[in-house]
Amino acid sequence: MPDVIEEIVVSAIVVNAAAILLESVPFILAGAICAKIPVRFGRRIVPYLGCGCGAGPSARSLPAFAAAWIVFGPLVAAARLGGAIAIAKLTRKSSCERHDDSVLGAVRAIVPFAIGGAALLPLLPAIAGTHAPVFIVATIAALTAFVTSPCALGTVGLATIARGIAPAAAAGFLCVAGIFDLRAWSRAPQRHAGHDGIAYALAFAACALTAIRGGGSLVNPRFTPALWICAIAFVYLAHRYRSHATPALRIGPVIMLAGCVLGAPAPTYHATQTTLADASPGEPIDFTGAVVRSGKKTALVRYAISCCRADAAPIVVRLESAAPRTGWAHARGTLVLQGGELRLRAATIEAVAAPADPFVYR
């Protein structure tokens, strides 16, 4: 049994790391194109246009700035952007230091962050749901942010998840991720990372396979068009550099393809997690989820993906009445306030087959 559990954990880490890399590839490719713009500030605009996947503080990303503005307001968004720019100046992490002449170099640079994030990001909901003192919760969230170093868009998504459960965790995460994290202080990729025909071919296979599956439960389906563009670009690069060999560049594409093949099960729901913070009594609900029991409580749970599988967060609908003991169920009814928490008073509830894709997408 321990060997089986270990295999499941390793598989989940590989799949989540692959999801992070696949989410990042379109932005990396766009950044590589921007870096070749024949203008004076071409390279300087790279960290501001993508999701913050490259070297240096990721909160310089303008798309992430817009997302933070919408969710947390202009002051938080401006503070994160200003802090990231200041740290970039302090550590000299401008895009001018990044001289990779291949997309693979940038992919290789974020592999450690993808693996670290895949291993530690699932801990954030448990951290946010803890009843520890506010300072402890904020500190643990900040340390998690420092180690995982998610992309800027991923940071906003994770902080949004935590905000409704534990504001202190969201605050600790936002104060560090993308500003003072490991990515911000790490060394920029070395000049001339090189090319590898096999690595480009592997990257093509991973992007094409994920795109054919409409995201393949790894990334949000809205990334599908971008992944097709990446697949086409990798076919061209694989042909152009077919005689080049730099084995070290194959690590990222191998993880991406392995994640597509493995297809680990959905994350495990923990009783400390909850949702529906913005719902209200009397609201009608029509929901399909996996049946989960915790003591005398029963809930339907399904995971929602914002960008990629690594940011999957549980949508939990607690039931007032009994449900099928295991498997999946579909319930219709109305939310009621009971025992200080919202529960679904189901008009109908029936067992259903597990859906082909266990995730929903925001």
Q: What is the pLDDT of residue 128?
A: 54
Tell me the C-alpha to C-alpha distance, in Å, between residue 358 and each of 180, 244, 310, 354. 35, 40, 14, 7
Q: What share of the chain is helix, strand, coil (3-state, %, to 5)?
A: 55, 15, 30
Give pLDDT, residue 53.
66
Answer whether 332's CB lies under 8 Å from 348's CB.
yes
Digit-coded pLDDT (tens) for 89-105 = 887 654 444 444 578 88
DSSP state of 219: B
Confirm if 11 and 264 have CB atoms less than 8 A apart: yes
Residues lower than pLDDT 50 in the chain? 1, 94-100, 190-191, 271-273
Q: Which of 183, 204, 195 is nearest to 254 (CA)?
A: 204
Q: List the domain boundaries for the chain.
A: 2-262, 284-361
Query: CATH number of 284-361: 3.40.50, 3.40.1130, 2.40.50, 1.25.40?
Result: 2.40.50
Q: What is the pLDDT of residue 227?
A: 95
Residue range 176-210, pLDDT digits in tens: 988 988 877 765 554 456 889 999 999 999 999 99
User: Could you give phi then psi for residue 317, rounded to 5 degrees?
Assistant: -115, 105
271: nearest Cα among 247, 299, 246, 244: 299
